[in-house]
Amino acid sequence: MLGFDFPVGLPIVLGPSLKVSAFRQVLRNLADGRWPDFLQPAEKIDQVGPTRPFFPARNLPKGVVSRQGLAEALGAASYDDLLRRCDRPSAERRATSSLFFLVGGQQVGKAAIAGWRELILPNADGGATAHWPFDGALAELLAPGRTVLCETYPGQFTRPLGLTVGTGGRSKRRQVDRQAQATALLGNAAEMDLALEPALRRQIEDGFGPGAQGEDAFDSLVGLLGMFLVLTGRLGEGCPWNDPDLALEGWILGHQA
C-alpha cells in the first residue's frame, strides 16, 4: 500500500463540462490523448478551460491572477466550487488548496501534475494495481500480489496521532517543535506494534535534524503512521461510500466524512 501527498480526483463541478462522472474515465481520456493539454499549466487565463485547468504556468505579478478569475474560467461560481468535498474545512483541519491553483506555498497542483504523470497514469489499467477509493474499500483491495495506491495528507493525522504541531505556536518547520512530538510518535508506533529501525528512532528523537528537509521527513512519517492507524482499525477510512460524487472526486485516507 502506497500513500501519496497529492490530490487524486477532480472536483465534481468539472464533471458536466468534461462529460465524465468517474475518475477512471478521466484517466482513460488522458491515456488516450483526448485532452493533450490537461496537465500542461496555462500561461494566460484565456487559455484556461475544463480540458486545461491548471494555472498559472509560472509566477505572475500580484493582481494578474486571482482565485475567482480561475473559478470563472472553469465555469464555477466561486473558488470554493473548485474544492473537492474532502478538501473543504472540517473539525480536524482547515481547507486544503484547489488542485488547479498553482500559486502560494500551500498549492498542491504541481505535485499532482508530477504524480499523475509518473505514478497514476502508468498504473491506470488495473491488474496488479488498485486505486483507493475508486476501486473499492481497503478490505476488498488489499490482497497478496496487488499494490494499492491512495491519497494521504499528513495534516489529516495530526489530531488522531495526538501531535501538537499547528497549535500553541508550534510549527513542524522548527526542529525543536518536531522534537516535541517524539513521545507521541514513538508511543503510537509502540501501540501499533511497529518495529522501528534504530536510525529512524534517532531521527524522531532528534526532530529530523536542523535542515529544511526535516519538515518533509517529518510529514512522511506522520503520513505513514496515519496509514497504519487506518490499517490497524484505530481510524476509519472515512469515505462517504453512498455519495455518487466519490467516483470522480476521490477521498483522503482517514478523513472522516
* Structural domain of 191: 161-231
Q: Are residues 89 and 42 in the same domain?
A: yes
Domain for residue 132, yes or no? no
Q: Are residues 177 and 120 in the same domain?
A: no
* Cα angle, residue 143 at apex, residues 140 and 144 outer, rounded to 5°: 170
Domain for residue 146, yes or no? no
Location of C-alpha cell 486505486: 131
Q: Are residues 111 and 183 in the same domain?
A: no
In the predicted model, what is the mean pLDDT of the chain? 93
Q: Are residues 98 and 19 in the same domain?
A: yes
Tell me the C-alpha distance between 250 and 147, whole Å: 18
Tell me the C-alpha distance between 54 and 228, whole Å: 33
Q: Are residues 117 and 166 in the same domain?
A: no
Share of the chain above pLDDT 90, in %: 84
Q: Rounded mean pLDDT of 124-148? A: 92
Q: Are residues 47 and 102 in the same domain?
A: yes
Domain for residue 171, yes or no? yes
Domain for residue 120, yes or no? yes
pTM: 0.93
In this predicted model, what pLDDT tens digit does every residue of 167-218 receive, in sequence order?
A: 888 999 999 999 999 999 999 999 999 999 999 999 999 999 999 899 999 9
Q: Count of domains in the chain?
A: 2
Q: Which three cell numbers stand for residue 28?
A: 482513460
